[in-house]
Amino acid sequence: MNTRSRSLTWDATTAIEALAAADTALWIWTPSEDQMRFTGATRALGLGPLAPECSGAAFTAVAVPSDRSLAERILKPQNEGAEVAVRLRMRDAETCIWRGVWLEDGLRAAGVVALETKFAASHRDHLTGLLDRRAFLARVGETLTQPGDYELVVADVDRLRRLNEALGHERADLVLAALGSRLNGAFSQDANPARVGEDEFAVILSRGAGAASERLREALEQPLRVAGFDIYPTVSIGAVAAEGGPDAPDAAELLRRAELAVEQAKTAGRGGAAAYGRALESDSLSRLALEGDLRNAFVRCEIEPFYQPIVNLATGAVAGFEALARWRHPKRGLVPPDEFLGLADEMGLMNELGLLMMTQAARQLAEWLARHPGAGKLFCSVNLSVGEIERASLVEDVARIIAAAGLPRGALKLEVTEGDIMRDTSRAAETLKKLRDAGASLALDDFGTGFSSLTWLAKLPFDTLKIDRYFVLTMDKDEGSAKIVKSVVNLGRDLSLEVVAEGVENAGLAGLLLDAQCHYGQGFGYAPALPAQEAEVYLNESLADGSAPIKARSA
């Protein structure tokens, strides 16, 4: 490097020249001194009459009349860290984007201003062409400067994760791109349609412009065909109302409220809808506290298996148990599974939960086998969570757990769903074989609710099929359900598989299953999932009486 090249350092003059060449300027606003200062391409941005410094009033006066409220928004003091994001047009100039942040406990703000065309590539979502989250917030902020009643609506695409798993990310992206195109066609640009998250779309409308939620749903829930697959999307919708003008809420806060309403809508299942209300805030805080408690629950050993009996329908003997996760919260008591399993999934804790359940269930089963030799070949089933079959160390963990507990081959039964198998059947077959070689037995759970290939089913190393509880519960009233149950039982026998029927609520259903030659029954007719101590008492009583008790009819 020669002396000349070393002297070309980045100094203040170089910075100003670069800003000017890029039609960009820096700005600093100090409210206490009523001073706005500029450096850079001020003339190209319509700021020439104001440079190098001006008062707040002068700055507002140079904005075109329709945008003066936006200029005042830039000048309005905010808390430290609050962002500035405004589209503003000065007299005799093109529209510019003002971005910045409030500093030093809100004593001053600083940022950059450039022609909107300079930002054009950065404010659009690359997949859909809609506004991205940052640009949407800027547009919402601009909209709310105008007096009026507005509604911000967010739509969350249901089960996008399942789409990714079933179609792959590239095809799922085609679905999102198509939905973005539909949203863009259904709303004018005044609604500022945007993609504000991986699976979230949003618009903001005047409340007099029609029912925004219904229009959003109608646009996004039309069927579409991607790569030969028919897709029927559904969305969960959250909405929040706001009043524009000087006291309008912050755009980011408004979007947060709408997304909070989306979470509430999801509790109603697919295709739900909810409006923001203050009650959601306390629910959200409770959820936040629950997340922290759930992480600690693993450390404090608050999560434990409960055991639901599985009964031999022919003999009435307890053949085994299914281990189901339960959370004993120190203050809330027993937390229902539907309140924490979904949360554990969202927090990425399902693999940890699965490992915990296998370890504790194996130890408990080993103790029961040692204490109750008359129980025969007692087994315990543990569910593998969605995607757990693809975990790299699963086979090694299962082999270690079985060896550490000293269980006989097949005593630990792992239940896998059809969706997990069909996502990558060849890979799943290889993993299942390794699990069987490691000493586990295998059950295909909820059989009949998916789209399993019978060709693959004959090749996979399962030893048990589990019939979904819906078909069992309705088999005495619905001829179709009864036929499905009998077909699955016959299929299991043809493939030398044992069949477990879930949802046995009473003796009548147990009798129908026995007539169909089903092997095992499981359900509240025998017992709910029980703590380990109560499950052992149930086992003892069954051994003493010769059969497990069953309710004559449902409660």
DSSP letter (8 states) at residue 530: B
First vs last C-alpha separation in the chain: 89
Beta bridge partners of 412: 380
Instruction: Cite the DSSP H helix spans in 192-305.
Output: 212-220, 251-266, 279-299
Interval 531-550: pLDDT, tens: 999 999 999 988 888 888 88
Q: Are 470 and 501 in contact (CB under 8 A)?
A: no
Q: Give the pLDDT score at 352.
A: 92
Helices 160-167 & 169-186 angle (0-180, nearest 10): 130
Domains of the chain: 12-118 (3.30.450.310), 133-284 (3.30.70.270), 299-545 (3.20.20.450)
pLDDT tens per residue, range 462-510: 999 999 888 999 998 888 889 999 999 999 998 899 999 999 999 999 9
Highest mean pLDDT among 105-109, 135-139, 387-391, 500-504: 500-504
pLDDT beyond 50 at 199? yes
Q: How far apart are CA 189 and CA 212, in angstroms?
A: 14
**What would the two tokens of residue 29 be?**
């606003």
Q: How far is CA 327 from CA 120, 363, 424, 528, in A?
A: 50, 19, 32, 16
Quickly list DSSP for 475-509. Answer: TTT-HHHHHHHHHHHHHHHHTT-EEEEE---SHHH
Compute the distance between CA of residue 504 and CA of residue 548 in angstroms, rounded to an integer: 13
Smallest CA-to-CA distance from 355 within 302, 315, 406, 395 is with: 395
The whole-number pLDDT of residue 253 equals 81
Average pLDDT over residues 164-192: 82
* Side chain identity at residue 72, one-letter code: E
Percent with pLDDT over 90 in the chain: 37
H or E element that contains 423: helix 418-423
Residue recorded with tokens 């006291």: 247
* Whether pLDDT at 363 is above 70: yes
- Rg of the chain over Cα atoms, rounded to whole angstroms, equals 31
* Backbone region of residue 249 per phi and psi (left: phi > 0; alpha: psi in -120 to 50; beta: other values): beta
Q: pLDDT at position 122, please?
A: 55
Reported as a pLDDT band with limits 50, 70 and 90, residue 119 is low
- The pLDDT, as a whole number, for residue 152 is 94
Average pLDDT over residues 358-362: 96
Closest CA to 517 of 544, 547, 474, 488: 488
225 forms bridges with which residues in the sheet?
Answer: 230
Those residues whose C-beta lies under 8 Å from the C-beta of residue 351, and which sit 6 or more positions away, are 385, 388, 391
Task: Output the pLDDT for position 7.
Answer: 43
Q: Answer yes or no: are the C-beta atoms of 389 and 430 closer than 8 Å.
A: no
CA dihedral angle for residue 182, residue 184, residue 187, residue 188, rounded to 10 degrees: -150
What is the layout of strands, in order, in the sheet containing 95-103? 53-54, 35-40, 24-30, 108-115, 95-103, 83-89
Tell if the pTM clears 0.75, that is, is over it: no
Both tokens of residue 132?
């991205």
Angstrom distances, CA of residue 542 to CA of 15, 517, 534, 537: 84, 22, 12, 9
User: Which residue has 């903001």 as its token pair?
Assistant: 204
Tokens of 166: 């079933």
> Residue 382: which H helix or E strand, with range?
strand 379-383
Q: Which pair of structure tokens corresponds to residue 139?
A: 């547009």
- pLDDT over threshold 90, residue 376: no
Read off the pLDDT of residues 280-329 as tens digits, 9 standing for 90 and up. Answer: 765 655 667 778 888 889 888 999 999 999 999 999 999 999 999 999 88
- C-alpha 169/C-alpha 174 separation (Å) is 9
Asked if residue 228 has pLDDT above 50, the reply is: yes
Task: Tell me how far apart the alpha carbons of residues 224 and 178 are, in angstroms, rounded to a whole number.
Answer: 8
Q: Is the pLDDT of residue 66 over 80?
A: no
pLDDT of residue 465: 92
Alpha carbon 28 to its chain's center: 41
∠ Cα 269 270 276 (to 5°)? 70
State mean pLDDT over 257-264: 88
